Amino acid sequence: MTDSINLSSPALYINRELSLLEFQRRVLEEALDDGNPLLERVKFLAIFGSNMDEFFMVRVSGIRKQIEANITKLSEDGLTPREELAAIRKSIQQLMMEAQKCFQKKLLPRLDKEGIHILEYSKLSKSQKEKADKYFSELIHPVLTPLALDPGHPFPHISNLSLNLAIVIRDKKGHEKFSRLKIPDTLPRLVPIKRSSGGERKDGTIPHHHYFVWLDQVIAANLGELFPGLEVAAAHPFRIVRDADIEIQELEADDLLETMQANIRKRKFGSVVQVTVYPTMPDEMRDLLVENLEVNQNDVYMLPHPLGLANLWQLYNNVERHDLKYAPYIQRVPKAIRSLDVTTNIFDVIRAGNILFHQPYDSFSPVVDFLNAAARDPHVLAIKQTVYRVGANAPVVEALLEAAERGKQVAVLVELKARFDEESNIGWARRLEDAGVHVVYGLVGLKTHCKVAMVVRKEGEGIRRYLHLATGNYNAVTSRIYEDFGMFTCDEDMGADSTDLFNYLTGYSTKKSYKKLLVAPVNLREQMERLIRREIEHAQAGNKARLIFKINSLVDTEMIQLLYQASQAGVQVDLLVRGMCCLRPGIKGISENIRVVSIVGRYLEHSRVFYFQNNGSEEVYLGSADLMPRNLNHRVEVVFPVENQRHVRLMREKILEAYLKDNVRARILQADGTYQRAKAESEEKRFDIQQRLMDM
């Protein structure tokens, strides 16, 4: 090992914000990929738009706060907050221009060719204009509220993520006035004006033609209806994004639920962090927005039509063209659970051995069935569960409500601070409390991110604890598109650990040790360091030493330095990092034994898997934690061992090593922070891991 090398050198780290933007670039690449079905490409562009909105709401707003607070602390790669923001803005402008070009030059012509016509209002036929204008009169006009700007009318509040028209009106004397009009988000951004059957195709199918026009263009063309007796001199669209990162002073909060509700309301009034306009907007109007929205010119991005790519979700959801989407996939049910019949229940099956399943390839329904069975089983005494992101329609929570109604002892930790899911979680918390469930909101200063459900069942003279441990959320909807692992077990030590964990979450337990679970912020960092150092020692002794980690993000400096040390010792380190990665691979003498691969495809890679070769005595851990300071220090996370040796081999051979062979969806991280797409030598040798897992 080269002790003289300074592993804290800024040159060894990739900026986390720029790395996150590189992930957004990979999402955008999927929209550009001709190999993806057309409407799936539209969906990827919508995802890119949503992700970029969140990047501004959370990441850009956070850096701006540092600048406003005169914080000059350098990032790990040696940038001040001002330098970081400048680098981010440069990258963002390029990315967003590429995205707009993707829509205009790549997707629009293909959509048109496939009979999905998104038309400019100015190019509508007479009959189409009549239909659009009728839609305006009947459905749009009644909900519009133009707001004037003059001494009697101060600049109106403009809501987050809203699209607006900046309007110049002129009276008969030639005096000009400014008005702002919000484009209502209660109406579809793409107004349907016609849907008809096209001619028969050669294969005998009859396609449907869909015709849409942009809502903001319909409104702009009919502004005269809103300002009778006045001339509409100009109307220029603009869109804003506000700071939406909620900061909570938990130590000062008497009631966390009420505090969260108040903070969600404040989110609507966060400072503006981005304004997007068309290049045709005059300088004086742009200056007016800059002054009144209290931003600077660098916060204004000039982009071509359309503003707000996230709205393209509507196109994906509303156009029923299955030939332009991924073929439906029927999820599997693990073999052990398929064997259930009237003579057995799920608890019998779990007692027979741990059950590992891999979503979305395996169905999430066994998890719901497990909780429903627990709710209805007369031998079940208690159910305890963590809830992070369950969504609006949550069969898991319905099962907990039923359990409470049937007299079971039910305790649920609802994490109110799950970003952008706060309102949904508050609603579920109130329903659970109303049903008599013991609801707690976690630990002060920590976000509870672990995924654990425990069922306590009376059996014979004692009790047995049945567990579901997972890498992903208890969300029946996202389980169909997020890749995750889950495990059923009734292992005694893990059950005891889970009891201690829930006591830690709901009471004042200060337990610092667990038998099998790795729990953040208690012992996860310490145990992960121990396991990595063990591989280093094996390599130094000439033994077999390899690490394979599959995670969402690698940001933690201490962990990165430890992985550098592992590489220097000769440990083969393979990292499957879907999102941010601040480690630089391939640096001679430091990280030449490290490979970093990112998979972006049909399903969101969300699982966290940690493999240790351990000189042939292989170990695999699964869990909820990424290698980030927030996961290791500021969240309650659980990483659990996979102890069935057949499962361990399966995880290495059929999962991790197979992921590393991908040459269709994989991108390889270079030392300069860019990614190169893996390429198959020939069509026959194409290997798409997600497709392979669907075909198994």
CB 668 within 8 Å of CB 595? yes
DSSP string, 251-275: GG-S-HHHHHHHHHHHHTTPPEEEE
Residue 519's SS3 state is: strand
Give alpha helix (H) positions in 582-644.
629-633
Say what angle helices 38-54 and 81-101 make with each other, to 10 degrees.
160
Q: Is the N-terminal amide bond of 146 cis, ω within 30° of 0?
A: no
Taken as a whole, the chain contains a residue count of: 696
Joined together, the tokens standing for residue 291 give 């002054």
Q: Is 449 a catalytic residue?
A: yes
The catalytic position among 236, 358, 449, 538 is 449
Chain centre to alpha carbon of residue 269: 23
Q: How many Cβ atoms are within 10 Å of 565's Cβ, its own excluded? A: 17
Chain centre to alpha carbon of residue 183: 27
Name the strand (E) or helix (H) holding 216.
Answer: helix 215-221
Joined together, the tokens standing for residue 109 give 């012509």
DSSP string, 327-368: PP-PPB--HHHHT--TT--HHHHHHT--EEEEETTB-SHHHH
Q: What distances in angstroms separate CA 548 from CA 136, 558, 656, one per listed residue?
A: 57, 18, 7
**Phi, psi angles (nearest 5°) of residue 384:** -130, 140
CB 184 within 8 Å of CB 143? yes
Joined together, the tokens standing for residue 143 give 């909900």
Number of alpha helices (DSSP H) and beta strands (DSSP E) in the chain: 22, 27
Identify the residue whose tokens are 């121990």.
530
b/e per residue 67-105 (b: at least 16 CB within 10 A): eeeeeeeebbbebebeebbebbeebbeebbeebbebbee
Instruction: Please state whether beta strands 619-623 and 635-642 pair in parallel, antiparallel, or not at all (unpaired).
Output: antiparallel
Joined together, the tokens standing for residue 649 give 């081999």
Q: What's 627's DSSP letter?
A: B
Name the strand (E) or helix (H) holding 397.
Answer: helix 395-405
DSSP string, 303-323: -PSPS-GGGGHHHHHH---GG
**Positions marked catalytic:** 449
